[in-house]
Amino acid sequence: MDARLLDILVCPICKANLEYRKPQSELVCKPCKLAFPVRDGIPIMLQDEARPLTTTDDA
């Protein structure tokens, strides 16, 4: 994930900054408790594509 792209991407729901988790290839929004997938280097910023974070994801 390009650092410049990560600087300008925000959550499409609450507009909060996102955290990139490389091992899972996801962009995480902690306030919304959602993880948006990154496929082939392209962030999929759709609420329907996001998965809810679980308590084990918060670590």
The CATH class, in words, for 1-58 is: mainly beta
- Identify which of 31, 36, 3 has the alpha carbon closest to the alpha carbon of residue 17: 31
Give the per-residue pLDDT at 29.
96
CA distances in angstroms from 56 to 1, 3, 22, 38, 53, listed in the order given = 23, 26, 16, 20, 8
Domain boundaries, the chain: 1-58
- What's the CA gap between 39 and 58, in Å, rounded? 22
Digit-by-digit pLDDT tens for the chain (59 residues) are 778 888 899 999 999 999 999 999 999 999 999 999 999 989 999 999 999 998 887 65
pTM: 0.88
Give the per-residue pLDDT at 59.
55
- What's the CA gap between 44 and 8, in Å, rounded? 14
Give, for 6, the enclosing helix (H) or strand (E): helix 3-8
